[in-house]
Amino acid sequence: MSSHPRPLEGLRVVEVSSFVASPLCGLTLSQLGAEVIRVDPIVGAADINRWPVTDDGNSIYWTGLNRGKKSVTVDFRDPQGQTMIQDLVIDSGPGGGILVTNAGGRSWMSHQTLSARRSDVITLELLGRTDGTPGVDYTVNAALGFPSITGPTDYAGVVNHVLPAWDVACGLYAALAITAAVRRRDQNGVGAQITLPLEDTALAIAGTLGYLTEPQLSGGTRPATGNDVYGTYGTDFVTADDSRFMLVALTPRHFRGLVEMTGTGEAVAAVERALRADFAREDDRYIHRGVLTPLFAAWFARHTSAEVEAALAQAARDGGDSPALDVDLDALSQGRAQGRQQLRSFDDLLDARSPGREPLSGSEPRRGPTAHLRWSGRGAGARRGHRAAQAAGRCGGREGGQPHRRRRERQGGGEKGPEFRRAEVDRRAERRHPRLERAQRDRDLRAAAPRRRADHVDLPGLPERFHAAGLRRPVLRRYPGWRS
């Protein structure tokens, strides 16, 4: 364990809470060094016996969320007990005066009451919904419509998620809000009243990730994709011994690595020609995943999980040694031994396969025609010089000292300075990369496409207050190039 002091040492936080978000806020602050005192009713909070439980009935869930905290039990109905909680918040020294709770609606524990006794008090109240009515993760998630795009694609019903993701995000946001309020108090000596509804947290994150903007622009809803990763190529595969691997190929380099590992190069190339697709493009890989997946699935069906792990390890070794990959593979093997699903990301395994990528710290430099450029210096400035030299080399020069001579001439060091600049511009225009041309063509198409007005788009299921907030029109102004 590190001997260095933790960043929030000296803070004292009083927590009156239950379930996930509020206890997670206190746990996070405690792990950062704060002293967290949990106050419970004498008979225990509502979640004290929540499943999962041990054989003797102790809640594993409750223990996990409240480890490392101090504990006090008080009769909340007794005025003396209420005064005791107030004193615990108010009389807690310069690092105290902080209350985190999801048990709102009590006037004796409100910010107004506490701030009358201590002006710099910080209170954070977590709510279910913005109007104060109850709401938990699973109901908020259902209101946003996520269950309709979750689960198997051949299932006509809805599937709510297992992980309380909105609770987790809300708890971490709450810990960040407390930290920010403490910093402001240290600077200005003022307290803070923070109200954080779970519903608003979910709406904000869903909007940030585009889940709310997409239906406004397209006029429809996102389809369910099962275990296929939306918008890119990623899915799960079953091995000969009925193990499962989840692989995600986020970039063209990762996709090429998957093709090489499964030995499907000729078949994938034939499909690419037949469909007139370009699998270097992420959208083409996603659109034609139904054709690509059976090609890869046949290879997985012929190999055991041990053989697949060995192939993934070989792919990592081909791209360069990385201690992080070795750790991941060990964890993967342990998970298989315990009967859990194997989840593996091609982004981790094949991230080092690019010839132009600098090796990870501690690994050997790759051999190749540009190795001397890649390792000619250290730091961002050296990397920028390497990229400029490579670009000049692609424009007609040879790899080696030639790009450096051209750079000197371009800076006016030779007789051909201005002429060289004009000639290089012509050479680059002639050798323009096809992807740049496609990107420009896509931009032209988006600019020429008609824009869809959001005034006539209905989003059923979203709260009316979200429509009244006028969020749709500014969103469209920020994305002027979207096609209808």
The residues that are catalytic are 167
Token duo for residue 309? 């792990």
Contacts of 431 (CB under 8 A, 6+ apart): 394, 395, 396
Q: Which residue has the tokens 């690419």?
A: 272
Q: Which residues of 281-295 are buried (b: 16+ CB within 10 A; e: fewer)?
A: ebebbbebbeebeeb
Strands 342-343 and 233-238 turn out to be unpaired
Residues 6+ apart with CB under 8 A from 176: none
**C-alpha distances out from residue 132 to 127, 203, 347, 453, Å:** 6, 16, 42, 33
The residue type found at 461 is G
* Cβ-based neighbour number of residue 214 at 10 Å: 14
* β partners of residue 183: none
Residue corresponding to tokens 């869809």: 452
Alpha-carbon gap, residue 236 to 239, rounded angstroms: 10
Cβ neighbours of residue 226 closer than 8 Å, sequence gap 6 or more: 151, 152, 153
> Distances in Å between the alpha carbon of 49 and those of 16, 40, 46?
17, 13, 8
Quick one: CA torsion of 149, 150, 153, 154, rounded to 10 degrees?
Answer: -110
For residues 50 and 57, the answer to whether their CB atoms sit within 8 Å is no
Q: What is the distance between the alpha carbons of residues 455 and 216, in angstroms, rounded to a whole number? A: 9
Strand partners, 72: 39
